[in-house]
Structure 1
Amino acid sequence: MKRVVIIGAGLGGLAAAVLLQKKGFSVTVIEKNEHPGGKMMPVKLGDYEFDFGPNTMTMPAVFNRVIEEAGERPEDYLEWIKLDHHTNNHFSDGTTFAMTTDREKMLTQFSQLDVTAKQMYEKYLAEIERLYTISEQEFFYRTFTSWRDYLDPKLFRALTSVRPLQSMEAFHRHYFQNEQIRWAFNRYATYIGSSPYVSPATFSLIGHLEMTDGVYYVKGGNTTIAESFARIFQKLGGDLRLGTKVLSVDVEQKRAKGVKLDNGDALSADFVVMNGDLLSVYPELVAEEDRPHFSDQKIAHFEPSISAYVILAGTKTRNPNLIHHQVYFTDDYQNEFRELFDKRTYPTDPTIYVCNSSYTDRNRAPGDNLFILVNAPALTKENEEMGGNYKAVVYEKLKRFGIDVQADLVEEKVITPGEIKSRFSAYKGALYGVSSNRKIDSFLRPSNQSKDIKNVYFTGGTTHPGGGSPMVTISGMNVAKLIEECVK
């Protein structure tokens, strides 16, 4: 029986663990935190329950597929709730724009806010469906282990047909004349930690998921997904070790022999899977001399995605103006990304996202359980302490929109980019691994297999197919398939 050691119990690692254990491998998952799921972390403050991301869920079929391939029924583990009217977008001039899968409601709003958008919306939906279909068929489930994988003519044709050279902003400008509506759709770039003014229009495909397929929530919290994967893995006989840290990967003659743990144990392995931020985990666990194709110098070349400044706030009562998802926009969206990526500073006038899952799932809190997120820059020596007084900026802006959190506050916890860096081994606190601001990083992400240590594999948002819970889960599925093929 082949032994697999997976470092990190994020969604990618758990998906690979479930599928490999089901296929007859002996799998051990090592996780330094006390919970499975990585950034999909549950937080409980008194009587208030929160998900520390992700809060906007799409592609439920991806997560269901992992459970089905394990021989289980998804409905026994996950109760998906579709949020048809899922996000309210608010602007300082009083304009509100709701995002919903109800096309008639969208057209009614466009008739009031953007006549061009009303005329173009069906074409927009058709185009983002095309982008999604090509990406799903040609990119998501394809693995890249060497440069030869990029020479497939079919892949080249697909790549050139998904608008790789057009920015998301330019793409949306064609369909939406109203700048505020463009901002609402441009926000999809932040789902991959990037700027809509430079990241490829390809990622506008996220709009197909949200505006056609729908946004979802899992009853009991989205963290139930990771908890379910962990339960199934253990039911299959897998070994899950929480609160345990891997200190190093032992490499001999370009092969990983096993790992050393912080409790003194050593585990042998035929395959090692690193699930986590590749830019942090790989150099931390493997000596530079053993990874010449992924040197420290090469790592420094990558642009990290944005990080996040998060406030978890439990309020005494329920605010009738809050739904499950809402966004309070800046007056200058493009300047926000200049500050984040060019100046590496916190936005002076931030766009604020607020999730209130207790709107949908009343059992999660006696009042509102507010997950308040502001995009933050990746960490530098200069900005490391900037977030200290940022809470006042966030609360003051929400108050201007009529959301006075502090007046009704019962529970509160702040999570900074520094904590994200330390808790999740995130490179410079980046929430989504590598940004997609550069074309090469959008389409040529780090491989799922080490070029130097052939039995070491990678899952997670830093690798192919990219960031976001569905993509990370697919990366785990792809790696499981690669390893399975190695022993056939």
Structure 2
Amino acid sequence: MKSALIIGSGIAGLASALRLKKAGFSVKVFEAANHAGGKLHAFQLGDFRFDMGPSLFTMPHLVDELFLLFDKNPKDYFNYIKKETVCNYFWEDGTRFSVPASEDEFVQKASDQFNVEENRIKKYLARNKEKYDLTADIFLNKSLHKWSTYLSFTTLKSLSQAYKLHLNDTLNGVNKKYFDNRYLVQLFNRYATYNGSSPFKTPGIMSMIPHLEMFYGTFLPKGGMHQISQSLYQLAVEQNIEFHFNEPVNEIITEASKAKGIKTKKGDYFADIVVSNTDVFTAYSKLLKSNKKPARILNQERSSSAVIFYWGIRKTFQDLDLHNILFSDNYKEEFNALFNDKTLYNDPTVYINITSKQEKKDAPEGCENWFVMVNAPGNFGQNWDTLIAELRKNLINKINRILKCSIEDHIVVEEILDPRKIETKTASHLGSLYGTSSNSKFSAFLRHSNFSKDYKNLYFCGGSVHPGGGIPLCLLSAKIATENITAHD
């Protein structure tokens, strides 16, 4: 039986382990933490439960299919509900808009509220779908680093219609071509943050992201986001996948341009295949120290990071749902501060996630668990204590203005996560949430491949490699990596 070693038990590491097990490999997973899941973790703060990391769940079929690989009923392990409201948006001037899950309802509602022709919105959404249909098979389901990907009818068809992808426009530029309404432009600009980028830099192809959200919908797992990783871990244990917790990998063993195994504090392990689910920058700087570095990849701009306040709130807010956005009054200046000045903007966009809206056990009766996040630059050695103290004042003032409350009077417990801690806890270079940013026209092509070009039998998965960050793309990275492995088996 062939053997595989997985470095890291994030969502992509778990998916890779399961796919390789199904392919007949014996699999061992090595994890520095004492639990599986990576960023998909949870914690208890007093009487409140919080998901620590990703809060948006879409394309749940990508999780379900991992259970189906083993002829298991996903519902025996993992259940979720579809939200009727995708997100609530709030602006400083009192404008509010709730995005319904139905695309037809969205078109009608947005047309009425923002005085935009329905046909204009439909054309925009149709073009977003067309972009997805043209590129999904290439960008999301295959390696961009193999010639075979480009020697197919699908690829040639997509390339012949590349003019439809808006690669020469920014996302903001595309949105302004379709809409002269600043609310709709800002609403659709926000989707750049789904991969840690700026709407004023990322290419217009990224307008296909709202199509994914509106077509597939948004969901909340029963038990919270943590259940995604924990259900997959349960399945992995049942399939006799071996986990080594509290055992960080110190080195990937290479010999004659081939990955042979790994080194940990407990010894050396050897196998036919090594799969790294750690940040690719960390992999090269710490696990492949004496080996050749892909300078172009490692010097790419990193995605944004975040500052997250976990607040137990002794109050309920009827105007809020699972996903809520309080917009900055000057989006362009906010992203200029993040990516150019490497600092926090004084009027940040505030994202509030409240799982207790559905999962009542996540907070005591009459209370809510607030996951309050603002986009942040990476950790470049800023004075974070000072920045966070000022940020806390600014976001509390913003929440109070928009929601007409005194939120500071209702905070009963608090924990803070910042780029320094994200970098330390997740080994993500500079604390980036999505690996590299997508702030250039060819950024999709520049992400690290799912296999090593220098070392046979070494593969990569996770948010820092192709096709990108976020739960769905991490799951697809595992699928691409393991398909590369089994194709050579």
In structure 1, give the amino acid aligned to 2:39: K
1:394 corresponding residue in structure 2: 395
Aligned ranges for residues 159-174 of structure 1 at < 5 Å?
A: 159=159, 160=162, 161-174=164-177
**1-structure distance, mates of 2:73, 2:133:** 26
1:193 corresponding residue in structure 2: 196
**1-structure distance, mates of 2:241, 2:483:** 18
1:79 corresponding residue in structure 2: 79
Instruction: Provide Cα deviations, 1:19-56, integer angstroms capped at 9, x if missing partner.
Output: 11122201111111222221111121122111123211
Aligned ranges for residues 272-287 of structure 1 at < 5 Å?
A: 272-287=274-289
What displacement does 1:299 show? 4.7
1:459 corresponding residue in structure 2: 461
Whether the 8 Å contact between 2:142 and 2:149 is mirrored in structure 1 is: no
Whether the 8 Å contact between 1:40 and 1:51 is mirrored in structure 2 is: yes
In structure 2, give the amino acid aligned to 1:399: N
2:304 corresponding residue in structure 1: 306
SS of match in other structure, 1:401: helix
Correspondence 1:228 to 2:231: yes
In structure 2, give the amino acid aligned to 1:71: D
**2-structure distance, mates of 1:244, 1:162:** 44
Equivalent of residue 237 in structure 1, options 235, 240, 247: 240
**1-structure distance, mates of 2:148, 2:325:** 43
**2-structure distance, mates of 1:460, 1:473:** 8
**RMSD of the TM alignment (CA)?**
1.9
In structure 2, give the amino acid aligned to 1:155: T
**2-structure distance, mates of 1:472, 1:387:** 31
**Cα 1:117–1:17 shift into 2, 3 Å:** farther
Unaligned runs of 5+ in 1: none
Correspondence 1:202 to 2:200: no
What displacement does 1:377 show? 0.5
1:447 corresponding residue in structure 2: 449
**Percent identity between the two aligned chains:** 33
Whether the 8 Å contact between 2:297 and 2:448 is mirrored in structure 1 is: no
**2-structure distance, mates of 1:313, 1:100:** 27
**1-structure distance, mates of 2:474, 2:50:** 21
Instruction: Provide Cα deviations, 1:53-84, integer angstroms capped at 9, x if missing partner.
Output: 32111111111111111321111112121112
**2-structure distance, mates of 1:43, 1:181:** 36
**Cα 1:153–1:86 shift into 2, 3 Å:** closer
**2-structure distance, mates of 1:104, 1:61:** 23
In structure 1, give the amino acid aligned to 2:121: Y
SS of match in other structure, 1:319: coil
Relative to structure 2, which stretch is displaced further, 79-88 or 393-402? 393-402
Whether the 8 Å contact between 2:4 and 2:273 is mirrored in structure 1 is: yes
In structure 1, give the amino acid aligned to 2:289: A
**2-structure distance, mates of 1:88, 1:202:** 24
SS of match in other structure, 1:226: helix
2:356 corresponding residue in structure 1: 358
Aligned ranges for residues 21-420 of structure 1 at < 5 Å?
A: 21-103=21-103, 105-146=105-146, 149-150=149-150, 154-155=154-155, 157-159=157-159, 160=162, 161-262=164-265, 264-288=266-290, 290-292=291-293, 294=294, 297-366=295-364, 367-382=367-382, 384-389=384-389, 390-402=391-403, 403-420=405-422
SS of match in other structure, 2:165: coil
Instruction: Provide Cα deviations, 1:144-186, integer angstroms capped at 9, x if missing partner.
Output: 4446755657425425243222211122223322112211111
What displacement does 1:239 show? 0.4
SS of match in other structure, 1:418: helix
Whether the 8 Å contact between 1:129 and 1:208 is mirrored in structure 2 is: yes
Relative to structure 2, which stretch is displaced further, 96-105 or 205-214? 96-105
**2-structure distance, mates of 1:300, 1:244:** 26
SS of match in other structure, 2:450: coil
**1-structure distance, mates of 2:451, 2:406:** 49
SS of match in other structure, 1:54: coil
Whether the 8 Å contact between 1:306 and 1:378 is mirrored in structure 2 is: yes
SS of match in other structure, 1:5: strand
1:473 corresponding residue in structure 2: 475
Whether the 8 Å contact between 1:13 and 1:476 is mirrored in structure 2 is: yes
**1-structure distance, mates of 2:277, 2:309:** 26
Unaligned runs of 5+ in 2: none
**Cα 1:98–1:143 shift into 2, 3 Å:** same
In structure 2, give the amino acid aligned to 1:96: R
How does the TM-score come out when normalised to structure 1?
0.94
**2-structure distance, mates of 1:77, 1:229:** 8
Whether the 8 Å contact between 1:114 and 1:178 is mirrored in structure 2 is: yes
Relative to structure 2, which stretch is displaced further, 237-246 or 440-449? 440-449
In structure 2, give the amino acid aligned to 1:228: S
Relative to structure 2, which stretch is displaced further, 131-140 or 419-428? 131-140
Whether the 8 Å contact between 1:357 and 1:364 is mirrored in structure 2 is: yes
In structure 1, give the amino acid aligned to 2:187: A
Relative to structure 2, which stretch is displaced further, 437-446 or 189-198? 437-446
SS of match in other structure, 2:442: helix
**1-structure distance, mates of 2:302, 2:395:** 24
